[in-house]
Amino acid sequence: MSVETVEGSAAPTPKRGVSILFGLTLLGLLLALWLALGLATNAFWTPNNISNLLRQGAMTAILAVGQTFVIITAGIDLSVGAVVGFTSVIVAWLLAAGVPLWLAVVATLLIGVLIGVFHAFGIVRMGLPPFIITLATLTSLRGIGLLITNGSTISITNEAFTNFSRADFLGIPSLFWMVIVVAIPAYVFLHLSRFGRYLFAVGSNREAARLSGVNVDRTIYLAYILSSTCAAFVGLLLASRIGIGNATQAEGWELQAIASSVIGGTSLFGAVGSVHGPLLGAFILATINNGANLLNVNSFWQRIITGLLIIVIVYFDQLRRRGSR
Amino acid sequence: MTRGALRAATGLDATAGGEEQAVAALHSEEGNMTGLHEISHRRDTELKTAVPKGEPILELRGLQKNYGAVQALKPASITFLSGEIHAIVGENGAGKSTLIKLLTGVIPRTAGEVRWCGEPVRLASPNEAIARGINAVHQEVVLCPHLSVAANMFLGDEMKRNGLMRKRAMTGAAQGVLDDLGFNLPADATLGTLTIGQQQLVATARAAMRGTRFLIFDEPTAYLTRQESTQLFRLIRRLQNEGVTIVYISHRLEEVFELADRVSVLRDGTHVGTRLIGETNEAELIALMINRTIEQIYHKEHFPFGETIVETRGLTGPGFSDVSLSVRSGEIVGLYGLIGAGRSEFALGLYGRHPISAGEVYWQGKKVEIGNERNAMALGIALAPESRRDQGLCLNLPIGLNINLPVFRKLTRGLTINRAEEAANADRQIRDLQIKTPSRRVLASAMSGGNQQKIVIGKWLSHGAKLFIFDEPTVGVDVGTKAEIYRLFARLLEQGAGIILISSYLPEVYELADRLHVFRQGRLVASHDYRAASHEEVLAQAINA
């Protein structure tokens, strides 16, 4: 039975307008948080704390952008936290083996690409649900990393590498610059190129996309490769920041990334999402953690607050969407 | 029970042989066919307020439904008589589904009155409708495929003892009903393993068990085989004999003449008339349904045929085998057959969606291996698939993105899409096809069936092709849009394209196709030139009667 929907009278608000509006609301929330924290504690608006906040948020933000590509195709990548830990081990291991820095970085990123290829292969060729294949890599990669390090950590002695995360450029932490380095091409890719459109189409209706000539398999490969590569990149940043390679690092970061993405307006059902949304989402989460630390809120409470916040934001987002239909 | 009571019970039908029928009916109610109503142990007392056969049981008085500014059902006054089979016919979009939804309490009415057994009722929710004994069997079965037949039949009304389900008792009772109906179905089978037709029968048995007094069938035979349809008709007649009032919605007129006592016609949301079945004929009903002659809708223009665009030789793949046909420029090739006859599968095979296991495809005289959809598009094949919802559209994305989806490659300049061209192309298709939307940014899901079909077509017009495959292009599309789509065919032919038109609606392919191929069970079984065979012949070939 065809649904007799009425056009015109109840038409939804134009999509792009909504996403800009939502972006502004999130930006408003972020600024409100900053203002409130500035009033509540003197320690917030100090250069030291701000650059600390930017560093904290940067890594989640990059993971969230990669995650968003996957979620838009109506998939999920649970492995990103494990990939971060694993690639921190890889780069530390390569540097310890005397591999030149540039080669170690390129090789680590390539490993990220390969992990993405493996995920997409499992989904496209073996027909596994994304949840399952990435859950499997989550646990396996931690295992492989622990095998390589024999359960311990590998220290990184390359100073050029470890100094990078502490450096500033134009007074802004280099880690935050990396967000910009990722976000600009990501924006061009998702919102301005045809491949971005294909991600949305595949997430909305895979069969319709296929019959319209979209190479669905390649699109899925692309999404998972981008997600894993972003994770490998974050692995490099993390290794640089803490100066070691350790397979158990970044525990639970996949959930942080998914939460940032969802707070940023991405729909877990696919076909809805942006690049700026998850970035704001990641910094909102970072601000809450940062503020809670400054206000001496028990870190257990931080987790509870984060959970409540996800419910509230996504609930209001859905209300708004329904209201606009 | 006296003869007088019998007469009263049989009412209008007491013709020459009426009395014996009535006796048989009553006998069956009391005797061996106790089954259906007694199984139900949750019969509300109000269900027992009997309305004598032939008296009004449900009356609509000025019943009306608006969606915003659109009148889906204009004020309609129809009376349903107790114990009759009342057919409702009309084109897609005539308001039949709106009427069912109103009667089953799925949507609220805008205005008007519904009287049930003489009392005004609100029918505010499906539960209220069911409690009063009004039920519907839908075209697409809405049961739980993972549960057993018995569990489905008792769903929401399970037999319980001390809060625990009496599974064995339910299976036994359900089996009793199925056997009694002559359905030869195991009650403990998982529903999903049955054919759609069998599931339909289960759904009907389920409705019959619940003390239903008013049962609406919504195009129940759409997916049934002939044998299954026969079984269903037998069941419907039997329910009638037990005093159930039947509303039978269909656009297959032959079924209406076979089953119904009276027939009401809807057209564009208006109730245009009710006839006793003996006092009308097919021509009158068609005239009422479409209010214009067939020639006016199927505006057929003949164009000179050009070169052969595509030719298949013995093409075989999943769901079709050994199909040989060709399409010339300026020609409409019609593929007729029942649902599941292999026409759509053939189209998907030709388009590269499904693998070809044998046979060849020649494109403009050259042998080609198509292999995937992108190669098909590159050759110049366009496919507007059967299901807009599942295959045609990205419903939760904007109209503009849907229209441009096949042509993003052409719209790309360097790394990025040229947004001005993207917008211009979408707006051009929206304008040319008169898609009724305020903006290209509106989501495709907000559009009506006709406009959604135009979006699918718009995709392929912007891509451009030599061969257009339209698979059921007018299902769920109103008459006006239909005529627009047919005019569009003429425009494409004039530009030298060829068209494969797949339809389960015989008049459509019959009137439009220059050459008509009939499919049955995955094979091409007959071919006719324009209007060379009669409707009856073509139909007989499709169903092998």
- Residue B294 and residue A207: Cα distance in Å, rounded? 35
Beta bridge partners of B439: none
Q: Report residue B140's pLDDT band, with 50, 70 and 90 as the boundaries.
A: low
The CATH 3.40.50.300 portion of chain B extends over 33-291, 302-380+465-545
DSSP code for B186 = -
Query: What digits encode the pLDDT tens for the residues A208-255?
Result: 999 998 999 999 999 999 999 999 999 999 999 888 888 888 888 998
pLDDT for residue A56: 85
Query: What digits encode the pLDDT tens for the residues B213-259?
Result: 899 988 887 667 777 788 888 888 888 888 889 999 887 778 888 88
8 A C-beta contact, residue B543 and residue B221: no
A6: CB partners within 8 A, 6+ apart = B67, B68, B69, B70, B448
For chains A and B, what is the number of CB pairs under 8 angstroms?
141
Which chain B residues have a beta carbon less than 8 Å from that of A198? 408
The full length of chain B comes to 545
pLDDT for residue B141: 66
In tens digits, what is the pLDDT along chain A, a chain of 325 residues? 333 333 333 333 344 555 566 667 888 888 988 998 888 888 888 888 888 888 889 999 999 999 999 999 999 999 999 999 999 999 999 988 888 989 999 999 999 999 999 999 999 999 999 999 999 999 999 999 999 888 888 888 888 888 888 777 887 888 889 999 999 999 999 999 999 999 999 999 999 999 998 999 999 999 999 999 999 999 999 999 888 888 888 888 998 899 999 888 888 888 889 999 899 999 998 998 888 888 888 878 888 888 888 788 778 767 766 644 4
Query: What digits encode the pLDDT tens for the residues B355-409?
Result: 999 999 999 999 999 989 999 999 999 999 988 888 899 988 999 999 999 999 8
A187: closest chain B residue by CA: B416
Say which residue, B6 or B311, is predicted with more confidence: B311
pLDDT for residue A23: 62
8 A C-beta contact, residue B493 and residue B330: yes
- Most A CBs within 10 A among B138, B389, B405, B470, hence the mutation to make, goes to B405
Burial (Cβ within 10 Å: 0-12, 13-18, ≥19) of residue A144: middle
8 A C-beta contact, residue A49 and residue A290: yes
- B-contacting residues of A 272-301, CB under 8 Å? 272
pLDDT for residue A116: 95
For residue B104, the distance in angstroms to the closest alpha carbon of chain A comes to: 14
**Is the pLDDT confidence value at B451 over 50?**
yes
Beta bridge partners of B216: B136, B247
Would you call A322 an interface residue with chain B, using a CB distance cutoff of 8 Å? no
For A4, the closest of B98, B415, B436 (CB atoms) is B98
Cβ separation A325–B446 shorter than 8 A: yes
pLDDT for residue B183: 76
Q: Which CATH class is domain A45-317?
A: mainly alpha
Query: What digits encode the pLDDT tens for the residues B45-55?
Result: 344 457 788 88
8 A C-beta contact, residue B499 and residue B333: yes
Beta bridge partners of B499: B332, B468
- Residue B131 and residue B125: Cα distance in Å, rounded? 10
Say which residue, A79 or B289, is predicted with more confidence: A79
- Which numeric CATH code is attached to B33-291? 3.40.50.300
DSSP code for B86 = E
pLDDT for residue A63: 95
pLDDT for residue A15: 47
Half-sphere exposure of B191 (CA within 13 A, CB side): 23
Q: Averaged over B210-215, what is the pLDDT?
A: 83
**Mean per-residue pLDDT of chain B:** 81
Q: Report residue B14's pLDDT band, with 50, 70 and 90 as the boundaries.
A: very low
| Residue carrying the six token digits 């950590």 | A153
Cβ separation A7–B404 shorter than 8 A: no
The two counts, helices (H) then strands (E), for chain B are 21, 25
For residue A210, the distance in angstroms to the closest alpha carbon of chain B comes to: 7
Least confident of B12-26, B48-62, B340-354, B497-511: B12-26
pLDDT for residue B223: 67
B186: CB partners within 8 A, 6+ apart = B149, B175
Which chain A residues have a beta carbon less than 8 Å from that of B373? 210-213
Would you call B117 an interface residue with chain A, using a CB distance cutoff of 8 Å? no
Least confident of B67-71, B176-180, B297-301, B332-336: B67-71
A16: closest chain B residue by CA: B441
A280: CB partners within 8 A, 6+ apart = A23, A26, A27, A30, A263, A264
pLDDT for residue B29: 37
Which chain A residues have a beta carbon less than 8 Å from that of B420? none
What is the domain partition of chain A in residue ranges?
A: 45-317
| Residue carrying the six token digits 């003489």 | B118
B60: CB partners within 8 A, 6+ apart = B76, B77, B78, B79, B112, B113, B114
Cβ separation B441–A209 shorter than 8 A: no
Sign of CA dihedral B242, B246, B251, B254: positive
A66: CB partners within 8 A, 6+ apart = A77, A80, A226, A227, A228, A229, A230, A231, A257
pLDDT for residue B540: 80
Cβ separation B415–A214 shorter than 8 A: no
| Assigned superfamily of B302-380+465-545 | P-loop containing nucleotide triphosphate hydrolases (3.40.50.300)
Query: What digits encode the pLDDT tens for the residues B507-520?
Result: 888 889 999 999 98
Would you call A253 an interface residue with chain B, using a CB distance cutoff of 8 Å? no
- A-contacting residues of B 244-283, CB under 8 Å? none
Closest CA to B5 of B58, B53, B37, B55: B53
For residue B401, the distance in angstroms to the closest alpha carbon of chain A comes to: 8
pLDDT for residue B254: 80
Would you call B345 an interface residue with chain A, using a CB distance cutoff of 8 Å? no
pLDDT for residue B294: 58
Which chain A residues have a beta carbon less than 8 Å from that of B454? none
Cβ separation B67–A4 shorter than 8 A: yes
pLDDT for residue A106: 95
pLDDT for residue B447: 79
Q: In this structure, what token pair is assigned to residue A172?
A: 């802004």
Q: Averaged over B403-430, what is the pLDDT?
A: 90
8 A C-beta contact, residue B502 and residue B472: yes
Q: In this structure, what token pair is assigned to residue B31?
A: 């005797």
Would you call B396 an interface residue with chain A, using a CB distance cutoff of 8 Å? yes
- Most B CBs within 10 A among A7, A21, A199, hence the mutation to make, goes to A7
Which chain A residues have a beta carbon less than 8 Å from that of B391? 205, 207-208, 211
A2: closest chain B residue by CA: B476
